[in-house]
Amino acid sequence: MKYKGYTGNILNVNLTEGRIETIPFPEKLAEDYIGGGGAAAKLISDSLDTISSPLDEKNPLIFMTGPLTGTIVPWSGRHCVATISPLTGLWGESYAGGTWGKELKRAGFDGIVISGKSEKLVYLRITDSSVTIENAAHLKGKDSWETDSIIKKEAGEKTKVAAIGAAGENLVRFASVVHDGPASRIAARCGVGAVMGSKNLKAIAVSGEKRVEVANSDALMKSIKEKLPALIINDTEHRVEKAKFVFSNFVADGRHGVNNWRDGELAGFEEALLKEAELHVRHTKPYLCSGCRTGCVESNVKDGIRQSVWESFAPLGSQCGVTDMKHIQKAYDICNQQGIDSISAGGIISFAMECFEEGIITEKDTDGINLRFGNGRGMIEMLKKLCQREGFGNILAEGTKRAASLIGRGAEKLAIEVKGLEVPAHDPRTHNFLALTYATDNRGASHLSASNPHIDGSDLVNLLDVRFTAEGTADMVVRRQNYSNILNSLVLCIFAQAGYAQYYSPTSFGGITAKEVTEWFNLVTGADASFESLMSCGERMFNLKHEINTKLGLTPDLDTLPERLLTLKRGQGPAADHLPQMKEMIEEYYRIRGWGASGNMRRMEK
């Protein structure tokens, strides 16, 4: 490998055969798809014809870092987990922060490609000197936190663990992969944990001491210091005000779904949320991913346990009509311990609650649980059943789209999902940008798939100025999606980018721009890439994932939002009377992408 920043090694594990081998990371793969989600997409694309279904043993599960992972580049402590999603049947990718990705690089690997299925439950143990497949019979049924603790006692406290809980073992279709135990850095979306469970793989434990080489360490250090002269977490009062600012803005903006996206306001939610935001900061400690210099305003731990974030406050709170913050935290703990996506969990529970209130299901269906909106205890009990696939939880474990089909009797109209993936905690009716992003992202509704490539920080676009305007939205979304694919291949944190950082960082940091991203990529790898060439690479990655989806059966009619979000107005807040102009925006989006009306691509040569 002529490029620095890579170890040059991919670990290939076939669990059916018990075969472990190291294969080279091809230079062509690095040049065309960089790493992270881009490289993973290419590897999955090359094996697509052999995959009969997402839970088939031939469906690869890929853990992939990027060339910046494990270097001194700030905000590079992330990695990708990719597969064909058992929730959507399409391309699936999820990202996690923490320390695990860096440790994999220190063990000497850029990524892991896992195929096959073990006869018995096992875990992988990876060090910089050996790779072994270990018996995990003693871990069967353990939650992800227990698994982390037990493996660290066996392999050493410095070991970093990626594990599934009961949900992954039980093949819940939106099961996650949990890293760092109770601190819970989670590859949550698309059901990657279910694919891990389908392979009888309980965990991957990594440790290493190798250093990642960079091409120009002196210039890299100089550039980083110039951009970040003295970044530290601000004092508690500043963090409190920032947390309250973020959450109050989200509520005022109308971002939060209420009662399965049916209503526009939930009495008492904002008051309870802002009170919790203050307690959240005063009585917790910030938890930073490896390489992070600022921290996220909502990333905190208490007694070592990850505390609620917006993507749990809204899905498990307002979306289910719940305002009791203790119930929301308990539900979030269950999601993290048992390993399920909190966004999908809130989506499926709120769907079931509306089915209950509409009389489509009754307590006879729900095992005696009163599943009305606002019943936090009922939400918690059903989450427990869901993770174990017990009773009615077995139906909900299939995800909203499948559950609606299984229930029938009009439940399909209440299913709020895009391509099978539940909608995040940001209402697309509040921003045309969000609406088009959700409709067109390759994995379904995702709020982190379109980051703005600010060139120097002076070209910030105020989304509030264009939130209801259809003109120009498609061009903005295409550009942002391409840029996000670059970030997700490097792998860099989206929240550190200008346009995000000023909201999510508890410091006064304004974020890094495309200028720094391009410069740091070149200084690490020794490449001579321009911003324009990276953007072409980002487009190539996005199109490849779209091509995977079309081969798996994606049709243009799936590039849309659920009927409710296109026809039912919120009735509250700045977007009270707005509905996304989806048809107009989709047509322009396809034109800019160079796709025909059928979704077929005409520019795959890029």
Location of structure tokens 């989600």? 37
The 3 state secondary structure assigned to 449-516 is: CCCCCCCCCCCCCCHHHHCCCCCCHHHHHHHHHHHHHHHHHHCCCHHHECCCHHHHCCCCCCCECHHH
CA 234, 495, 192, 321 torsion-angle sign: positive
**What is the per-residue pLDDT across 289-330, written as a single tens digit (0 to 9) for each?**
988 877 787 788 888 899 888 899 999 999 999 999 999 999
- What is the pLDDT, as a whole number, of residue 292? 86
Three-state DSSP at 149 gives: helix
List, for residues 7-25, the tens digit of each pLDDT value.
999 999 999 999 999 999 9
**Among 205, 198, 317, 202, residue whose Cα is nearest residue 250:** 317
Task: Return the closest-CA partner of residue 290 out of 57, 130, 69.
Answer: 69
Looking at 3.40.50.1400, 1.10.599.10, 3.40.50.1000, 3.40.50.2000, the CATH number of the domain 428-593 comes to 1.10.599.10
- CB contact set of 596 (below 8 Å; sequence gap of 6+): 590, 602
Q: Are 427 and 257 in contact (CB under 8 A)?
A: yes
φ, ψ for residue 245 (rounded to 5)? -60, -50
210-221 mean pLDDT = 97
Instruction: Give me the residue label for tokens 């099978």.
Output: 420
What per-residue confidence (pLDDT) applies to 462? 64
d(CA 33, CA 37): 8
Distances (CA, A) of 32 to 201, 225, 479, 535, 603: 31, 30, 18, 11, 15
Contacts of 485 (CB under 8 A, 6+ apart): 37, 38, 537, 538, 539, 541, 542
Summarize the confidence of residues 274-287 as an average pLDDT: 84
Q: Tell me: the pLDDT tens digits for 54-103?
A: 999 999 999 999 999 999 999 999 999 999 999 999 999 999 999 999 99
Rounded to whole angstroms, the Cα distance separating 385 from 85 reads: 22
Closest CA to 83 of 44, 29, 117: 44
**Contact criterion met (CB below 8 Å) for 155 and 165:** no
Task: Calculate Rg over the CA atoms of the chain.
Answer: 22
Residue 333 has pLDDT above 70, yes or no: yes
Instruction: Answer for the pair 69, 79: CB distance below 8 angstroms, yes or no.
Output: yes
Query: Tell me: the pLDDT tens digits for 163-176?
Result: 999 999 999 999 99
Domain ranges of the chain: 9-206, 236-422, 428-593
Neighbours of 402 (CB within 10 A): 18
Task: Say whether domain 9-206 belongs to CATH 3.90.226.10.
Answer: no
DSSP state of 85: -
Amino acid 532 reads: E
User: How high does pLDDT run on average in the chain?
Assistant: 93
**In CATH, what class is 236-422?**
mainly alpha
Q: What is the pTM of this model?
A: 0.96
**Alpha-carbon span 107 to 351, nearest angstrom:** 43
What is the token pair recorded at 221? 């250090």
Residue 388 reports pLDDT greater than 50: yes
Confidence bin at 389 (pLDDT 50/70/90): very high
